[in-house]
């Protein structure tokens, strides 16, 4: 049983009302709407029965859920296995196995291991996200057999009668049967910012959402026939959407591909037609050169960093619906938040009722209780009123104007009891006495929410005209007489102050956009630690364009309408900011969709969760710093990994070009590249891809990677070629010793490149970025561990034989050490040069 009286039902195709289930009739207001609809639509009062549902299921008239979000298992396998680099390396693996010793084909095992790790981690991330996504999967209320039931949207069938309430996202196309002030926001579909009033006979489209009132609607198009069926997949998307990191990585890979083609062709020509190598040595040399140029692990470790970030956030009950959102928040410099439910706790309490105009206290209690009892889907404000005044008098409602964020008030006409309005004093309180106005100001300055209860002498017939009058905007009856001020208190969340302080320290500007009174919003903002010394802005007196013009300089806005939130976010983005929006209500949906990163509270409306890229399932503001830190961690780690892989591709291409021009033999066996890649790229890259801590994110990913990798590649290539030339020119040095000398130079330089990548960057390269949080001892330990592995390879006879390792004479080693030190010094000096 759910809070609104609905019951969960079995999946479509099972019998509704089967033995063991309890029939729950629809609540009174829903029954009233159903009875009204039944007058014009036979069967609307009860909805479909089990037999009718079964017939439609058999005919395929089911709102089939969209395919599983993101990639299926087979798609994940194809994406990780069938890549152009894997095809190249796989071909070279087969060739080397045919013509050479098997140890020269060890790079194939590394390739298989990399692919296996990528598949495993992506499947692991997918399972973690799918488990969390079940908690936010969309559901709908329907009438079946006269009972109100909650079912998954994938279980809806043609002609189901939907019960629509404020905050619902419409799951199918439907025709309105009954409307009680029903207003639909279709902005996500049509771009129309203003809500559209719906009357019986009108159409509501899937993907739109209810912003005011309620109603019943019959499903007319389900599944793939619905107008916005594809929107349903947005709430559970697992995809590596385009981002600066992914765009930059793809740009680097395209550039490397264009470098590899001529360099590889030159190397092949030289090995087979100009060098004096045997056919087998020419094949192995060519394979070694081509393998070295392939950044085989870059895409893998990029995906791994994103996937592991999503898994870590999932453990904190943060659902990442698009993986690039992890990167997105790390780049945010402006955060727009609502007050209620974000800075403050979701609930509130009525602390004071100040009667105005001589109304009897008992009369005020009856009216407030009646107003609260009529709301089928009470928000926190109405729930607080109902908790304080729990005994409604049972009056009959003859007309109503439901609350909406744009109107900022609601009204009911009761038979024989007149018309009563409840809303913001600034909207409802025309002619408010000076003493009452002062009381409103005093409470708002203290950060409290104040509602004005006003009565109108109009009868039921005049209330009907009132209902039509307000469709154009927030207009209240001119004869409304103030009756009472209802003062509600909100409490800051426990984590709000610490979270705000952290964000401000990280250079994130915070803008508060709330529908409450500006003074009350500013008071809460100050308590939270948000700078609000300037006068808060009353958006009710501003146009959308005026709000957009002031959002850059004003921290707090009150009386903000949904369209103004959208205009503010759009203006910030146009000014070059990266904007995140946190919201939980239907009034936040358009802004959430427009923002670079939309973040929804798990306790918020289904509409807000469906458009957000991140959902905070526990509804806690404290999760925002965790997302920020995770995003920075992913960005920094991918950049470190990219520097390693692009450096390797750069020096491999330079060596291939030099060898091809000189007509010399390639200085490595393929097995040597397995050692070099594993000790200087593979294992360190895997560790760095998962390293904790990170500096602030900065734009310019590709520029920074190339600025590091090209000079580093030149330095490594110089050391390797010089070491190979020294060994080749020394009498009595065998080919195996020559290549071992080249290997030692490559490993030494590769480890120094690792030091430069793993340790904090110099001040010239890290202005404003700070330290990344991982201890120097741990990173130094990583480098020393790789050195120890190399020592073991030379110390164990079997390893020396397997990998073809033979130390050159001491004189060659001494000369090689001098060359390596020169290269290290040159690279280090370049790294600390002034900007």
Helix crossing, 776-795 with 735-758: angle to 10°? Answer: 170
Cβ atoms 550, 537 nearer than 8 A? yes
Cβ atoms 429, 454 nearer than 8 A? yes
Provide the 3-class DSSP secondary structure of residue 575.
coil
Backbone phi, psi, residue 411, to 5°: -150, 145
* Residue recorded with tokens 């079940």: 134
Q: For residue 700, give every residue at least 6 positions away whose Cβ sits within 8 Å of its Cβ, in sequence order, or none.
A: none
Query: Between the CA of residue 344 and those of 27, 493, 540, 719, what are the distances in Å?
Result: 31, 5, 22, 61
Beta-carbon-side half-sphere exposure of residue 334 (alpha carbons within 13 Å):
23
Q: Rounded to an integer, what distance in angstroms lies between the CA atom of residue 167 and that of residue 603? A: 12
Cβ atoms 556, 518 nearer than 8 A? yes
Smallest Cα–Cα separation from 772: which of 683, 696, 689, 828?
Answer: 696
Q: Rounded to an integer, what distance in angstroms lies between the CA atom of residue 33 and that of residue 44? A: 9
* Count of C-beta atoms within a 10 Å radius of residue 467: 16
How would you classify the pairing of strands 161-165 and 509-513? unpaired
Check 160, 338, 516, 772 and give the catalytic one. Answer: 338
CB contact burial 578-587 (16+ within 10 A = b; e otherwise):
bbbbbbbbbb
DSSP secondary structure code for residue 153 in this structure: G
Query: Between the CA of residue 826 and those of 625, 712, 756, 830, what are the distances in Å?
Result: 40, 10, 13, 6
Q: What is the DSSP string of 330-375?
A: HT--EEEE-IIIIIB-S--EEEEEEE-TT--HHHHHHHHHHHHHH-
Cβ atoms 97, 89 nearer than 8 A? no
Q: Rounded to an integer, what distance in angstroms lies between the CA atom of residue 638 and that of residue 249? A: 9
CB contact burial 226-264 (16+ within 10 A = b; e otherwise):
bbbbebbbbbbbbebeebbbbebbeebbeebeebbeebb
Cβ atoms 147, 17 nearer than 8 A? yes
Smallest Cα–Cα separation from 503: which of 572, 582, 575?
Answer: 582
Query: Between the CA of residue 224 and those of 66, 158, 231, 237, what are the distances in Å?
Result: 9, 12, 11, 18
Query: Between the CA of residue 212 and those of 408, 427, 611, what are the distances in Å?
Result: 11, 17, 19
Q: Rounded to an integer, what distance in angstroms lies between the CA atom of residue 642 and that of residue 305? A: 12
* Residue recorded with tokens 């508060």: 512
Query: Between the CA of residue 668 and those of 81, 280, 741, what are the distances in Å?
Result: 27, 14, 10
- Decide if 338 is catalytic: yes
Phi-psi region of 722 (alpha: psi -120 to 50; beta: other; left: phi over 0): alpha
Q: Which residues are catalytic?
A: 338
């Amino acid at each position: 049983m759910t809070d609104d009286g609905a019951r969960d039902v079995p999946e479509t195709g099972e019998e509704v009302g089967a033995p063991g289930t309890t029939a729950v009739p629809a609540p009174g207001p829903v029954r009233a709407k159903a009875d009204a609809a039944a007058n014009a639509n036979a069967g609307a009062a009860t909805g479909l029965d089990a037999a009718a549902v079964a017939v439609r299921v058999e005919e395929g008239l089911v709102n089939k859920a969209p395919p599983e979000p993101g990639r299926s298992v087979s798609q994940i396998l194809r994406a990780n296995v069938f890549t152009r680099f894997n095809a190249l390396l796989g071909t070279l693996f087969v060739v080397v196995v045919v013509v050479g010793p098997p140890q020269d084909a060890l790079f194939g095992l590394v390739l298989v291991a990399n692919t296996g790790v990528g598949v495993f981690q992506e499947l692991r991330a997918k399972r973690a996200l799918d488990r969390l996504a079940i908690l936010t999967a969309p559901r709908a209320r329907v009438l079946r057999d006269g009972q109100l039931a909650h079912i998954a949207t994938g279980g809806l069938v043609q002609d189901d009668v939907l019960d629509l309430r404020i905050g619902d996202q419409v799951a199918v196309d439907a025709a309105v049967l009954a409307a009680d002030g029903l207003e639909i926001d279709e902005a996500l579909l049509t771009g129309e910012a203003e809500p559209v009033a719906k009357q019986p006979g009108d159409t509501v489209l899937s993907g739109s959402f209810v912003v005011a009132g309620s109603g019943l609607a019959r499903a007319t198009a389900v599944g793939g026939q619905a107008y916005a069926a594809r929107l349903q997949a947005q709430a559970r998307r697992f995809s590596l959407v385009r981002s600066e990191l992914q765009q930059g990585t793809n740009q680097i890979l395209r550039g490397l591909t264009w470098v590899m083609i001529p360099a590889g062709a030159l190397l092949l020509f030289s090995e087979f037609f100009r060098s004096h190598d045997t056919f087998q040595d020419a094949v192995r040399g060519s394979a070694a050169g081509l393998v070295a140029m392939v950044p085989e692990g870059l895409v893998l470790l990029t995906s791994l960093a994103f996937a592991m970030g999503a898994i870590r956030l999932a453990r904190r009950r943060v659902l990442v619906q698009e993986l690039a959102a992890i990167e997105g928040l790390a780049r945010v410099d402006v955060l727009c938040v609502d007050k209620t439910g974000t800075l403050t706790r979701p609930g509130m309490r009525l602390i004071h009722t100040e009667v105005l105009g001589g109304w009897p206290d008992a009369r005020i209690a009856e009216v407030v209780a009646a107003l609260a009892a009529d709301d089928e889907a009470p928000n926190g404000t109405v729930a607080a009123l109902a908790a304080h005044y729990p005994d409604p008098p049972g009056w009959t409602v003859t007309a109503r104007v439901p609350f909406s964020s744009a109107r900022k008030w609601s009204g009911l006409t009761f038979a024989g009891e007149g018309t009563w309005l409840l809303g913001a004093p600034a909207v409802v309180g025309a002619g408010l006495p000076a003493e009452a106005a002062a009381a409103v100001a005093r409470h708002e300055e203290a950060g409290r929410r104040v509602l004005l209860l006003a009565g109108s002498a109009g009868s039921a017939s005049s209330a009907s005209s009132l209902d039509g009058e307000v469709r154009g905007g927030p207009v209240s009856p001119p004869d409304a007489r103030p009756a009472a001020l209802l003062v509600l208190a909100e409490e800051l969340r426990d984590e709000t102050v610490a979270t705000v302080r952290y964000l401000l320290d990280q250079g994130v500007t915070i803008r508060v956009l709330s529908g409450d009174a500006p003074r009350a919003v500013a008071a809460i903002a100050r308590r939270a630690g948000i700078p609000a010394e300037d006068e808060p802005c009353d958006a009710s007196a501003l146009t959308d364009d005026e709000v957009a013009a002031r959002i850059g300089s004003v921290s707090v806005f009150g009386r903000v309408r949904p369209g103004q939130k959208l205009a503010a976010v759009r203006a910030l983005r146009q000014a070059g900011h990266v904007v995140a929006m946190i919201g939980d209500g239907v009034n936040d949906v358009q802004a959430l969709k427009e923002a670079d990163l939309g973040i929804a509270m798990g306790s918020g409306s289904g509409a807000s969760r469906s458009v957000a890229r991140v959902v905070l399932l526990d509804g806690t503001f404290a999760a925002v710093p965790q997302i920020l830190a995770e995003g920075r961690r992913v960005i920094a780690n991918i950049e470190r990994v990219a520097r390693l892989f692009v450096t390797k591709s750069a020096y491999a291409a330079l060596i291939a070009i030099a060898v091809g021009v000189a007509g010399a033999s390639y200085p490595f066996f393929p097995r040597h590249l397995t050692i070099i890649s594993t000790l200087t790229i593979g294992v360190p890259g895997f560790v760095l891809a998962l390293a904790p801590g990170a500096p602030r994110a900065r734009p310019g990913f590709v520029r920074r990677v190339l600025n590091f990798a090209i000079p580093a590649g030149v330095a490594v290539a110089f050391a390797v070629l010089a070491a190979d030339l020294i060994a080749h020119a020394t009498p009595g040095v065998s080919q195996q010793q020559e290549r071992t000398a080249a290997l030692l130079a490559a490993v030494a330089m590769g480890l120094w490149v690792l030091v430069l990548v793993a340790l904090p960057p110099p001040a010239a390269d890290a202005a404003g970025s700070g330290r990344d949080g991982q201890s120097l001892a741990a990173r130094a330990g990583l480098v020393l561990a790789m050195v120890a592995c190399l020592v073991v390879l030379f110390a164990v006879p079997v390893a020396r034989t397997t990998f073809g390792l033979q130390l050159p004479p001491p004189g060659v080693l001494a000369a090689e050490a001098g060359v390596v030190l020169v290269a290290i010094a040159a690279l280090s000096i370049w790294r600390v040069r002034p900007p």
